[in-house]
Amino acid sequence: MESPIFNLDSVSLSYRFKPVVQDLSLSLGEGRCLGVLGSNGAGKTTMVRAILGMIRPLSGSVTVLGYQPGSTQCFRELAYVPEEGSAPEFLSPLEYLKMIRSLYRLESKSSVCDEEIGFFELDPHKKIRQLSKGNRRRLLLAAAFMVRPRFLILDEPINGLDPMMVIKLRQRLQDFCAQGSSILICSHILSEVEKVCSDIAILKLGRKVYSGTVAAAEAEYGGLENAFAKLAGAAT
């Protein structure tokens, strides 16, 4: 049996001594796209931080791409786009992408920067501080795709993107999975998750209340929206 891209085994996480995620078990196979859904404060971002090694679990274990989370080897095959944040503002998009290319030792692939700048329609020489929120987001996505990761983690990926770019990104994500890479998406936008993801996990108050394929959730609950409303929206 092939090893999963990431595996959370009975993981409990806390943030400043407050339990946020409890007894969570979840994994992702190669070439799959997992959408993690949940209301605000359900523990989605905390779970992602545990996968990245930013926080250590109180109990349980986490493995990512067969490595301990947070290791340099792990980051060589992984890319992450957080919900907020920007690349260093004093650089230009081209300078930033060249820096990332060098950090991932991709200097031999000289055209990758131009390809991503073209795809995400960025001005290569304008300073990042002069870019709009949407263009800054495009740049982070461009950097993530440029390194051709085996595992891509996206937190609210379409925040600030215009509709045309959303369509292009959706296609790109589907192609990315078809090539064998895996994606984890945290999102509040159910329609996007439905279109892009093959699997979903629904979190509620730090606990997993559902995991399975999107098709199975739709068949069982008559649509993803119904599934989310029933599983994550019911009173505690």
Partner 1 sequence: MKALILFGLRQTLRVRLVVAVVAIAFLLEWMGLRLLREMTFSFQGIVYPIGSSRTMFVALFLQLFAGSFIAAVYGIWLVPYLHQGARGQISFCYPVSRWTYVVVYGVNVSVLLLILNIVMIGSFCNLFGVSAIVDDPLVLKGLWWGILTQTLGLWTLMFALATCSLAIGSIPAFFIGLFGFGFMQVLGGLFRVAIGGLVNSDSGFLYQLKQIYQWLPPWGELIFELKSGLQGEINWSHVGLWVIWLTVFILAFRFFIARPAYTRPDYSA
Instruction: Decide if 214 contacts 197 (C-beta within 8 A).
Output: yes
Number of H helices, E strands in the chain: 9, 9
| Of the residues 9, 95, 162, 218, which one makes contact with partner 1 according to CB under 8 A | 95
Nearer to partner 1, 72 or 111 (CB): 72
Q: Verify binding: residue 99, partner 1, rule CB under 8 A.
A: yes
Q: Which stretch binds partner 1 (CB under 8 A): 90-98, 117-125, 180-188, 196-204?
A: 90-98
Tell me the closest approach of the beta carbon of residue 17 to partner 1, in angstroms. 15
Please, which of residues 157-196 interact with partner 1 by CB under 8 A?
none
Return d(Cα 137, Cα 144) in angstroms, integer.
11
Please, which of residues 191-230 interact with partner 1 by CB under 8 A?
none
Judged on CB neighbours under 10 Å (0-12, 13-18, 19+), 186 is buried
The pattern of x and - marking residues 110 through 149 that bind partner 1 according to CB under 8 A reads -------------------x----------x---------
Nearer to partner 1, 5 or 100 (CB): 100
Please, which of residues 60-89 interact with partner 1 by CB under 8 A?
70, 72-73, 75-76, 78-80, 82-89
Tell me the sheet residues that pair with 15: 18
Return d(Cα 217, Cα 138) in angstroms, integer.
31
Q: Which stretch binds partner 1 (CB under 8 A): 50-58, 161-169, 173-181, 206-214?
A: 50-58
For residue 80, the tally of other CB atoms under 10 A from its CB is 19
For residue 91, the tally of other CB atoms under 10 A from its CB is 16
Number of residues forming the site for partner 1 (CB under 8 A): 31
Nearer to partner 1, 58 or 91 (CB): 91
| Residue closest to 95 by CA, chosen among 121, 125, 132, 65 | 125
Judged on CB neighbours under 10 Å (0-12, 13-18, 19+), 170 is middle
Tell me the closest approach of the beta carbon of residue 157 to partner 1, in angstroms. 14
CA distances from 29 to 98, 99, 199 (A): 31, 30, 10
Instruction: Decide if 228 contacts 204 (C-beta within 8 A).
Output: no
| Of the residues 54, 167, 219, 229, which one makes contact with partner 1 according to CB under 8 A | 54
| Of the residues 25, 90, 180, 219, which one makes contact with partner 1 according to CB under 8 A | 90
Contact positions toward partner 1, by CB under 8 A? 49, 52, 54-55, 70, 72-73, 75-76, 78-80, 82-91, 95, 98-100, 102-104, 129, 140
